[in-house]
Structure 1
């Protein structure tokens, strides 16, 4: 609308137009104010949310750091305990190894000495002749010689009866009794000698079996050696004493060694 149109409008219409324009301007101002308020509120809300998110993030990070520090401290404590335990066990193992090596050396020396003694005893037993058994027939000649050595009785004069057996001197029966005594004691002496010989053989066999077991021999090798060397037909009792009852031919005696203990 140009100035001519305004000029041509009546005066009331001009006032109405001014009022409408004023209202439009106030509405626009209110809208702008509302928009500014909304924008400010949004900015404030965004800032609050940002601060809350930042605080939550900081809290989460702090909690994670605390948990990580606690876990790390627990792991360090556990590792320290395990290290102390390992060191303590290692010291015990080293001490046991030292003692085991010393005991092993002593056992080896004892086994060697026992084996040498057993071999010497077995050699002496093999070289020793078996005990002789006295016979009754061997004891008879001294009696006969004693009887021959006695002086002959004088002949009886004519008219007298010859002396009977009752007039024989009392020494005759005593001589016969002494001759029978060795014959009765002979079997007992022979039996005692055989028992001692068998006991010595068993002891020698046990010592040799122990020496072979300490040296690393298995049960089968020891059994063959006992059968061939000592002539023992059934060495099961000796083998059970050395290797344990019911063990097989491959059984060996386990002795402590440095390499095995360290592993």
Structure 2
């Protein structure tokens, strides 16, 4: 890893310059979390989907991190049961974008630019973020963490997604192995795309804290995976939603704990 990429990683894996507010989406009729900078006009916004059985609070550190870099992030807390509907959760991700663009958040000092919207998610939520991007032309960029296949198919939807995509795959993922999930999604992607492998990460490595689902799902919270995820998603959304290239070297280089899978990466 070159000096400039290392410097970008160190900078973007730390919290950004903005003070952060976080609150409950239930105030606008939907369970879940929303994190925002304390103030700002015309901000970019990201809708974030949780993994199967996971509560949004397991991603609060990531949501707050992105907010500290100037993003509004909304994470619906719906469809958390064993028989979660991917179709309905995708609709909820799109509704979260409606909330971001249509409701004055924070203390009324925050507004969102409807032309700077992104989608992201972990596992099931990653697959649903792909579905949302395929269905909603407002979505300008997509990032996934250990994405899993969905019904309807995220793999089939990827053929229709022409916006930039970043997919982080966990090499030690026994629940949604990359070869059957993130890799084919990246291969099918219609726009510019990058697949990153985290060889040591497990399926739940991107989550924080403890949860009963660790008894039935593979993996646990892993600091290294979370740090890489924070840095790369920040660099990716800064570039795609804000035109900010301060993480360009990071996006173009391997970093400790992850490397670009060049076979499944395609530049613009």
State the TM-score bracket (shorter-chain normalisation).
under 0.3
User: Highest relative contact order (Cα 8 Å, sep 6+), 1 or 2?
Assistant: 1
Structure with the higher fraction of residues in helix conformation: 1
More strand by percentage: 2
Q: Given the two structures, how large is their TM-score scaled by the length of structure 1?
A: 0.19
Q: Compute the TM-score of the two structures, normalised by the length of structure 2.
A: 0.19
For the pair shown, which has the larger CA radius of gyration, 1 or 2? 1
